[in-house]
Amino acid sequence: MAILPPVHTGDHLGARFGSDGAFLSAAAEFAHVGVTGGAQVMIFPSPRLRGSLGDRLGASPPLRRALHEGHLHVMDTVQARHAGGGFDAGRLHAAYRDAALAATAAGYPGLWVAVDMAWACPVDRADAVDAVDAVDIDALVAFEAAANTLFTLGTLTALCAYDTRVFTSGHVFRACQAHPAIAEAARFGHRATADGDGLAFSGEADRSNALAWKALLSSFDPGHHVVDISAMSFLGVRALADLADLAAADRSRPLTIRATSSQVTRLSLLRIDRLAAIEVLPARTP
C-alpha cells in the first residue's frame, strides 16, 4: 500500500510504512514530485536500503539525470545522525533551516527531504528503542512539533516516514500528531499572513495532527497577533480550545482571529469571541 499522500510545497508530512517496498515506492514518488517542481531533493533511507533506493531512482530517466546533475541526493543517515555527536534537537533544527537556505541561495525554489525515521533507533528492530543511542520518543515528538516553524516560508518540504517494524503503533501515532499533514488522515497548511503579523491556516485540524497545530500556535511571538482560519474546512474541539488558550494568554496586543461567519458561530460556543477580536471574512479556499 502506498504511504505517500498528495504532496504540496511546504508540507511537513508524517507517514507510516511496514515494508521496504513501501518506503522505496514512497521515496521515489516523493523525489519525482520534488525534482519535477525544480526543487533540490535529499532522501535519507535506512543504511541497508541505500543500494536498493539508488537502483529504484536510477531506473527513472529524470531521476537518474537529477542524481547525475546533483539535484537529487541519496544521503547517509548514519553519518547525519552522528554528525556533531548524539541527537541534538537544536542542532538538527538549524541544519534543516540552513540546508533550505542553501538550496534557495543556489537557485532552487526550495528543498525537499524524505527521511526514514529509523535513524532515531540504532538498528531496524522493534526493541531498538531500548538501546543506548536511540532517541527518546518524547524528545523526538517534541522535535517534530517544533520543526513546523521551518515550513512557514514554503521553502522546505519534508516526508518523515515511520517504520512500524521499528516503532510501536503508539509511538508512530504520537509522532504523526506532530505533523500537519498525515497519510490517510487530516492535513492543514500554514503560511505567514501577507503583512507578517501572524499565521494563515488552511485545511483540517483534528486529533491526528493536534501536536502540530498546538506547536504552531505556541510559536507566536509578541509581534504575532493574527490567526487567519478562514480557509480551514474543519477545526476539532481540541483545536478550538488551543485557539482559546492563545487568545486568553497575556499579550501586549489582543489576538485577532480572521474567520468566516460559520466559523464565528463555533468560536462563540467557546466564548472565544470574548477573548479575541474577530474579523469576519468571506469563505475561501486555500
Separation between Cα atoms, residue 269 and residue 115, nearest integer Å: 41
CB 281 within 8 A of CB 258: yes
Q: Check pLDDT > 80 for residue 38.
A: yes
**Does the structure show a pLDDT above 80 at 129?**
no
Residue 193: pLDDT above 60? Answer: yes
Is pLDDT of 125 > 50?
A: no
In 3D space, the residue among 43, 42, 55, 21 whose CA is nearest the CA of residue 165 turns out to be 21
The stretch 35-56 carries a mean pLDDT of: 96
Q: Which residue has the higher pLDDT, 84 or 140?
A: 140
More confident residue, 190 or 135: 190
Supply the Cα-derived Rg of the chain in whole angstroms: 20
Does the pLDDT value for residue 123 go beyond 50?
A: no
Alpha-helical segments (H) within the chain: 20-36, 50-58, 61-69, 77-82, 89-105, 137-146, 169-177, 210-218, 237-248, 261-269
pLDDT score of 133: 58
Give the pLDDT of residue 221.
84
Length of the chain: 286
pLDDT at 122 over 90: no
Examine the pLDDT at 124 and tell me if it is beyond 70: no
Computed over every residue of the chain, the mean pLDDT equals 90
Please classify residue 112 by burial: count the beta carbons closer than 10 Å to its beta carbon, then call 0-12 exposed, 13-18 middle and 19+ buried: buried
CA atoms within 13 Å, Cβ hemisphere of 248: 9
pLDDT at residue number 128:
44
Would you say residue 63 has pLDDT above 70?
yes
pLDDT over threshold 50, residue 34: yes
Q: Which residue has the cell 490567526?
A: 227
Return the closest-CA partner of residue 246 out of 267, 276, 270. 276
pLDDT in tens, 67-117: 999 999 999 876 666 555 678 899 999 999 999 999 999 999 999 999 999
Q: What is the pLDDT of residue 251?
A: 81
Q: What is the pLDDT of residues 223-268, one digit of tens each?
A: 899 999 999 999 999 999 999 999 999 888 899 999 999 999 999 9
Q: Calculate mean pLDDT across residues 30-42.
A: 98
Question: For the residues 215-222, what does the mean pLDDT come to?
Answer: 92
Q: What percentage of the chain carries pLDDT values higher than 90? A: 78
